[in-house]
Structure 1
């Protein structure tokens, strides 16, 4: 913390102003909130300290591209992303363990090894997201340089780049070589495109164009592939996160017509079916971790609400037959204030803090004191005071 306060003082004294492209377009971030917080970092010192610690760790991380895996997908192409379904386990009733069987909510740690891509992909996306934000708030060129090296390895370098598809995501041994449900993995790319925009002035025009084209190809795959079709038709968090990805990548690549059409799908297909008149999400509440999944789904809606603001489609206030997104946030807010009243069985216990980011978004979107009350309650947890999300909201 002392190191962070010293950095804040130094930045203020030097009035550091690193160059950003004039046409920088923030996708997920609120530019006014970012600018305000950058000018008032003393008020966000704890969150900045968390961000710097993560960015400093990312500086030391090896570049670990998709081609480093030791197991190959069914295609045989090391450039194809490859992961296993996390809730699937060897079959105890067969000698070879095939076909795998599902145990909802129980994470098979064997799916997290470096033999496949999920963990390296998570590290890459989170590192680039944190490095981009750290560069924005500190102007430290080391953060930008490391993020760009990562971006080149994953999207540009022909020897290491990832193919723009998830044909082999969340495969299940003995059952399927890849599933539409695996598209949930690529939601983490949303933070990456925001960092690309922050770093735009530091990228060459060729590099920026190459990355932008990668996302155009990936979004085309999302919209036209069989896997994308399957994911689009899920009526739970998978469908919502599919929408969030398509919209984010469409905005990033300048395809606003696609973004608007997809947000209309969010309004008409998702909200009315996923939330009942009390704001409950039955598809999430029936899971073994209902609080986690209720908030996980709302995290996608938080992004979609913001994207609607960007392109002029009101997702926040959409209502059909008394089913509304606002009621979904209110339902969750109620239990952040009174967690002892949550009466659903939780596989791994109730963690109120999972609602924190959603409450920040809801507090900004709605004039309802329940959300500010929820934030006040959640901020009693020291971890929420240090949350990087505090840097994204005034």
Structure 2
């Protein structure tokens, strides 16, 4: 259906800010990444059967129903064991590393950027399982929030307790053995990108708190796990490496530390990490034309540009909570707005107009970033880009996630 400017404004919540550079500092509230005020308005619209939201809502209903039948996920379910010998330690392989076709027994592994080795996404390790856990939890929490039914919240709480609290099944709060390379290294700092989905898990916990099914003891246990993990991120060698990574990994590290610090009540650390993001990663990753050069040089440049913008949008949202203007920040002509503008100008154009390599060009990946840009700046170019993408991707879950951005 055709979305008018006023209808789209309702979706992206354009009335929330007059200008990104002039927003007032908000009091810290329990909402983490999601814009809960907008979500309340969407809830009312869904109850009215508003056609703007029905395709995305119907997709959510279907997927949440499926999630009810899935098992409770645990890191102890993997068939391989990390170098520690402890299956409670998260374990994954680097997705772009493949057996060496000329090496003995496939060693040493070789890197093929953008080409995922399916052996890295099996139940032998934890990366697929972690994504399934976060995806199911998001679906169940959103389903409960938008149309409360305790069975969805109950399943979500079972998932949470299995992953974080149960002594037999819980994950240890570290990522020492993430994105290992067979025959080369037991784990790498770069593997910390895997736990970006734990931001969505924390968002889901926030949504589920009013259900009455999360006990104070359980909530305290979840927050302790997150606090312990954040401490590991800030003090480990792997965390140090990821904190200084030059591409989307560094931005997603910032987003994780900021989100987890807000979730656990450490506002001072969240504020510090937001400033680090602006000065260390945003200013160094975006050039004066708005290109995120570390992403445009890759074989999946459109995907990774949008993937980086998703991290940027998270930081913009946390800046709103902290009264720290990330959306409007600029240094030497390098701004977040220019970075979003690069994708906005490509929206609706053919693959041949994208001037960089992308072996799996997928236009819909820009839906979340453009909705975030329209919400933040409310300018005609971003509004048109968001309108075009929403019209062609009306079932996209980002339509129901104001404030957040999901790019897988």
TM-score (norm 1): 0.92
Structure 1 residue 95: Cα displacement: 1.9
Question: Structure 1 residue 214 and structure 2 residue 225: aligned?
Answer: yes
SS at match of 1:298: helix
Structure 1 residue 46: Cα displacement: 1.3
Structure 1 residue 376: Cα displacement: 2.1
What CA deviation, in whole Å up to 9, does each residue of 1:220-266 have, x standing for no partner?
Answer: 01111100000011110000000000001000000000000000011
Counterpart of 1:196 in structure 2 is: 205
Counterpart of 2:353 in structure 1 is: 341
CA distance in 1, matches of 2:362, 2:381: 19
Pick aligned residue for 1:389 from 391, 394, 398: 398
RMSD (CA atoms): 1.3
Asked whether the 8 Å contact 2:192–2:239 carries over to 1, the reply is yes
Question: Which segments of structure 1 move beyond 4 Å, counting only runs of 4 or more?
Answer: none
CA distance in 2, matches of 1:328, 1:367: 16
SS at match of 2:179: strand
Structure 1 residue 98: Cα displacement: 1.4
Q: Residues 24 and 281 (structure 1 numbering): CA distance in 2 closer, same or farther, change over 3 Å?
A: closer
Counterpart of 2:44 in structure 1 is: 39
Higher relative contact order, chain-length normalized (CA < 8 Å, sep 6+): 2
Asked whether the 8 Å contact 2:122–2:128 carries over to 1, the reply is yes
Residues 137-176 of structure 1 mapped to structure 2, 5 A cutoff: 137-176=146-185
Counterpart of 1:28 in structure 2 is: 33
Question: Structure 1 residue 129 and structure 2 residue 141: aligned?
Answer: no
Residues 52-201 of structure 1 mapped to structure 2, 5 A cutoff: 52-200=61-209, 201=212
Residues 235-314 of structure 1 mapped to structure 2, 5 A cutoff: 235-314=246-325
Residues 318-333 of structure 1 mapped to structure 2, 5 A cutoff: 318-333=329-344
CA distance in 2, matches of 1:195, 1:86: 27
Counterpart of 1:14 in structure 2 is: none
TM-score (norm 2): 0.88
Asked whether the 8 Å contact 1:112–1:119 carries over to 2, the reply is yes
Question: Structure 1 residue 369 and structure 2 residue 374: aligned?
Answer: no
Q: Structure 1: which 5+ residue stretches go unaligned?
A: 1-22
Structure 1 residue 24: Cα displacement: 7.2
What CA deviation, in whole Å up to 9, does each residue of 1:171-214 have, x standing for no partner?
Answer: 00111000000000000011110111122232111111001100
CA distance in 2, matches of 1:213, 1:261: 20
Structure 1 residue 337: Cα displacement: 3.4
SS at match of 1:379: helix
Structure 1 residue 367: Cα displacement: 3.4
Q: Structure 2: which 5+ residue stretches go unaligned?
A: 1-27, 404-408
